[in-house]
């Protein structure tokens, strides 16, 4: 008899060269479009605030549809830290949550902690999730590099052309 699929809780960090109040938008459904290649969230109904708890959206990365639901948001531009969490289901593959916590690092930048807590939905999906777990540090480094490149590009763009 084969073993049951294994849940994975993966936590890691990255640094963003913005204070948390400004960096928060980079981890929202609309904000990720600025730095994630191919990220195009689709909302089944119009939304004024893409981080309002209960908001549902879908993405189609790697040819697989993923459904997301905003679970929690703590964001006040006048407070030092922010957080947002999502439920995430890739049908037939895995389900779980993704949480992002932004804290000031003392130099005007943000220390960002990202936690994926995923359970494979089939024994076959366990191998995919194990591969994701093995590559998680590199995955977060790629986020840090993509965000830094995005911030460098926007810093070079004249104010009237954004």
Q: What is the CATH number of the domain that holds 148?
A: 3.30.530.20
pTM: 0.90
Q: Is residue 66 part of a domain?
A: yes
Q: Is residue 161 part of a domain?
A: no
Q: Considering its fold, how many domains does the chain have in total?
A: 1
Q: Is 34 exposed, middle or buried (0-12, 13-18, 19+ CB in 10 A)?
A: middle
Q: Is residue 1 part of a domain?
A: no
Q: Is residue 15 part of a domain?
A: yes
Q: Is residue 36 part of a domain?
A: yes
Q: Over its length of 162 residues, how does the chain's per-residue pLDDT go in tens digits?
A: 456 559 999 999 999 999 999 999 999 999 999 999 889 999 999 899 999 999 999 998 777 899 999 999 998 877 778 999 999 999 989 999 999 999 999 999 999 999 999 999 998 899 999 999 999 999 999 999 999 999 999 887 655 544
Q: Where are the beta strands (DSSP E) in 19-79?
A: 56-59, 66-74
């Amino acid at each position: 008899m084969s073993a049951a699929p294994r849940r994975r809780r993966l936590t890691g960090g990255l640094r963003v060269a913005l204070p948390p109040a400004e960096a928060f938008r980079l981890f929202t459904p609309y904000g990720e479009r600025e730095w994630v290649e191919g990220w195009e969230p689709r909302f089944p109904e119009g939304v004024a605030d893409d981080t309002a708890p209960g908001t549902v959206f879908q993405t189609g990365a790697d040819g697989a549809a993923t459904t997301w639901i905003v679970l929690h948001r703590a964001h006040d531009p006048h407070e030092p830290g922010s957080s947002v969490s999502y439920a995430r289901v890739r049908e037939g593959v895995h389900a779980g949550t993704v949480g992002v916590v932004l804290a000031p690092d003392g130099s005007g930048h943000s220390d960002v902690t990202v936690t994926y807590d995923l359970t494979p939905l089939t024994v076959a999906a366990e191998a995919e999730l194990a591969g994701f777990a093995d590559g998680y540090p590199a995955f977060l480094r790629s986020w840090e590099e993509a965000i830094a490149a995005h911030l460098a590009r926007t810093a070079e763009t004249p104010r009237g052309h954004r």
